[in-house]
């Protein structure tokens, strides 16, 4: 079990704690705020609600969370130390001096700083090679980007280790090749923020109208393609060169005030605060966080279907987690063939629930379909086999809904092969949360020649694997409900 120490438990530190904890790390927290435990507990509550449902494979068992009265206690045994104290260079340097007196010299000491360069942070350190910038984005437990910035003092193997750890907790390490104030992403944010302040001050737009311009327009495009790829598409068939030729001259026009800053008067602050209250004051911060998290999970899950952007990153992590979650990809990996096969191990995501606040009817079929796909993979009916022209089509399905399932529940499906000879594949799925039976699914599938779209015998290796499972499962008792029909007694 790996251990992370979190120094500073505010919004960002709490997000780091949740990200590490839900990915199986033990987490040791130090924050002098007497409310730190409550605040981090609320962040964790939101993270437990949203993060497990982002992917399609169960997260590892949650680590242990502990709070400590001093930094020296919090860093004992830590493999990773994440500093998220307020943005004051003198404070951060003082913190590093204390941390390095007590932490493992081989531990990585990452800073959440949004503006300081790593050379500034390393300035008074006894071991400068140990300190790097690892700047995340809120909410840390959902958004995957981490700007990783080092200096020549950081050995390449240390940077490689930092990348590996960041990737292992489902995040994307963007290695910034040269240190610069505010790194990369915050420089974009400052430019947009600066222009937004002028638009409000000059009475051109309200805070809500500016937010609408982003969330109904380019913000959605940026979320899945970024800046340059978006503009490449905007260039049409002629591509990026055409776009640059068409819109490049606009850079010389005085459209923006990026080099000018409005005076931060009390009047401007009150104006923005009042507009923001009118826009969003009907929601508490916790409500806004949950709305934000629901939207982020929905967008990133949508991108997973196209294996794109943040969705592609999540798919890659799901693939890494499959073995840890007990999901196998070939029949030869199964130790005991006589038991039902684990074909699904995941958490119910937020968008799988309905107006009754439990898993919607269609998602039971979705879960069982994923289980069928896993069984097909196990017997060799994989993407390569399907591309060669063979697959299985479902001919009949019967699902029994036995108990309620809610968002955040960890569900497992175990599959018994009832029949596997010839063209037919008869499967019995049972869905559980722990020992609680939630639903059963009975499915009859036929092997199909994709060229003719008609039933046809499977390849020998596929049929042999399926028969092997069916023969082993024949020793199991007949499932309760097998072959049952719907309808009242006559």
Structure tokens given for 95: 């913190």
**DSSP code of residue 342:** E
Name the one residue in this structure whose structure tokens are 């911060």.
285
Separation between Cα atoms, residue 47 and residue 65, nearest integer Å: 14
Is 40 annotated as contributing to ligand binding? no
Is 12 annotated as contributing to ligand binding? yes
Q: Are 413 and 477 in contact (CB under 8 A)?
A: no
Name the one residue in this structure whose structure tokens are 């009118």.
278
- Local structure of 146: helix, strand or coil: strand
**Phi, then psi, of 146 in degrees rounded to 5:** -130, 120
Helix or strand run (H / E) with residue 424: strand 424-433
Q: Report which of 31, 134, 61 is spatially closest to residue 347, judged by C-alpha positions.
A: 61
Burial of 277 (0-12, 13-18, 19+ CB in 10 A): exposed
Helix or strand run (H / E) with residue 391: strand 390-401
Cα R_g (the chain), whole angstroms = 27
DSSP-derived secondary structure for 446-469: EEEETTTTEE-PPPHHHHHHHHHH
| Cα torsion through 278, 284, 290, 295, rounded to 10 | 0
Is 11 annotated as contributing to ligand binding? yes
Structure tokens given for 415: 């599959």
Query: Alpha-carbon torsion 244, 250, 256, 260, what sign?
Result: positive
Produce one character per residue of 312-332: b if its CB has 16 or more CB atoms within 10 Å, e if not: ebbbebbeebbeebebbeebe
Is 9 annotated as contributing to ligand binding? yes
Is 108 annotated as contributing to ligand binding? no
- Local structure of 134: helix, strand or coil: strand
Q: Report which of 322, 202, 179 is spatially closest to residue 272, judged by C-alpha positions.
A: 202
DSSP-derived secondary structure for 27-87: EEEE-S-TTHHHHHHHHHHHHHHHGGGTSSSPPPPP--EEE-SSHHHHTTT-SEEEE---S
Q: Are 332 and 85 in contact (CB under 8 A)?
A: no
Separation between Cα atoms, residue 325 and residue 452, nearest integer Å: 38
Structure tokens given for 226: 């970024």
Residues annotated as binding site for NAD(+)?
A: 8-13
Binding residues: 8-13
């Amino acid at each position: 079990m790996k251990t992370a120490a979190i120094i500073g438990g505010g919004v960002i530190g709490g997000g780091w704690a949740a990200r590490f904890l839900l990915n199986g790390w033990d987490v040791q927290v130090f924050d002098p705020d007497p409310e730190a435990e409550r605040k981090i507990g609320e962040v964790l509550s939101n993270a437990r609600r949203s993060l497990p449902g982002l992917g399609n494979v169960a997260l590892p068992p949650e680590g242990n969370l502990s709070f400590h009265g001093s930094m020296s206690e919090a860093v004992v045994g830590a493999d990773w130390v994440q500093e998220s104290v307020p943005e004051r260079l003198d404070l951060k340097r003082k913190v590093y001096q204390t941390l390095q007196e007590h932490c493992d010299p081989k531990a990585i000491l990452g800073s959440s700083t949004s503006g300081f360069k790593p050379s500034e942070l390393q300035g008074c350190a006894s071991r400068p090679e140990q300190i790097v910038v690892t700047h995340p984005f809120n909410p840390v437990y959902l958004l995957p980007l981490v700007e990783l910035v080092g200096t020549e003092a950081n050995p390449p193997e240390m940077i490689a280790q930092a990348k590996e750890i960041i990737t292992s907790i489902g995040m994307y390490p963007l290695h910034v090749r040269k240190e610069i104030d505010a790194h990369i992403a915050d420089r974009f944010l400052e430019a947009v923020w600066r222009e937004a302040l002028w638009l409000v001050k000059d009475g051109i737009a309200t805070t809500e109208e500016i937010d609408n311009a982003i969330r109904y327009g380019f913000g959605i495009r940026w979320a899945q393609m970024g800046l340059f790829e978006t503009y490449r598409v905007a260039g049409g068939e002629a591509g990026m060169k055409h776009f640059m030729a068409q819109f490049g001259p606009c850079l010389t026009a005085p459209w923006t005030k990026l080099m000018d800053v409005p005076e931060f008067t009390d009047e401007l602050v009150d104006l923005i605060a009042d507009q923001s209250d009118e826009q969003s004051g009907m929601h508490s911060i916790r409500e806004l966080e949950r709305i934000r998290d629901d939207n982020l999970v929905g967008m990133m899950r949508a991108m997973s279907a196209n294996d794109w952007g943040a969705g592609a990153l999540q798919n890659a992590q799901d693939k890494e987690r499959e073995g840890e979650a007990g999901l196998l990809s070939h029949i030869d990996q199964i130790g005991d063939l006589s038991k039902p096969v684990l074909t699904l191990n995941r958490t119910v995501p937020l968008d799988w629930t309905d107006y009754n606040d439990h898993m919607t009817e269609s998602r039971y079929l979705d879960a069982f379909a994923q289980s069928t796909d896993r069984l097909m993979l196990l017997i060799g009916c994989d993407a390569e086999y399907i591309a060669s022209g063979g697959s299985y089509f479902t001919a009949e399905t019967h699902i029994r809904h036995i108990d309620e399932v809610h968002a955040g529940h960890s569900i497992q499906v175990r599959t018994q092969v009832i029949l596997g000879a010839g063209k037919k594949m008869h499967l019995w799925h049972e869905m559980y949360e722990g020992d609680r039976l939630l639903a059963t699914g009975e499915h009859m599938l036929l092997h199909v020649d994709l060229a003719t779209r008609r039933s046809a015998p499977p390849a020998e290796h596929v049929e042999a694997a399926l028969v092997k499972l069916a023969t082993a499962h024949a020793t199991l008792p007949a499932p309760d409900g097998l072959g049952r029909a719907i309808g009242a007694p006559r």
